Amino acid sequence: MLAGADGTAYLNTVVGPWFSPDASVGVCEGYTVTYVAMQLAYFMGFSEVLLVGVDHRFAAQGKANQLVESTGEDKSHFDPRYFDKGFKWQLPDLLNSELAYRDARSAFESAGRRIVDCTVDGALEVFEKMPLEQALRS
């Protein structure tokens, strides 16, 4: 048993690529935490998921999945403190994350659900795009 703070929930990650409709069995990482969040939203029964701030661009350059160490202010995430100096992380794999996103879109659409990308000026082109204000009204 893993020790954690009160209210901590652990997820079993499974080898993919596949979209898991049942998070109690496990979730596929899909090269991005956003994909995990989509599986959790599906499992919780959400019929619509709105993406905000998924710009699908990274300032950090290099080979996909390469292990790197943060050297200072993080310019690849919404907060410059996201990865502190010295934090080791893997560079994004945008191609494989797009394949995972396509699986998520397919799973949602097959169940009569949808994912809408409300990110302003985002580079992700997998989901229907819509201004947030409009999506909240629909």
**Angle, CA 3 vertex, CA 27 and CA 88 arms, to 5°:** 65
Q: Is residue 95 part of a domain?
A: yes
Count of the separate structural domains present in the chain: 1
pLDDT digits (tens, 9 = 90+) for 108-124: 999 999 999 999 999 99
In a domain, 8, yes or no: no
pLDDT of residue 2: 57
Residue 5 has pLDDT above 80, yes or no: no
The residue assigned the tokens 């999506």 is: 135
The pLDDT value given to residue 42: 99
The 10s digit of each residue's pLDDT in 35-48 is: 999 999 999 999 99
Mean pLDDT across the chain: 92
pLDDT at 17 over 80: no
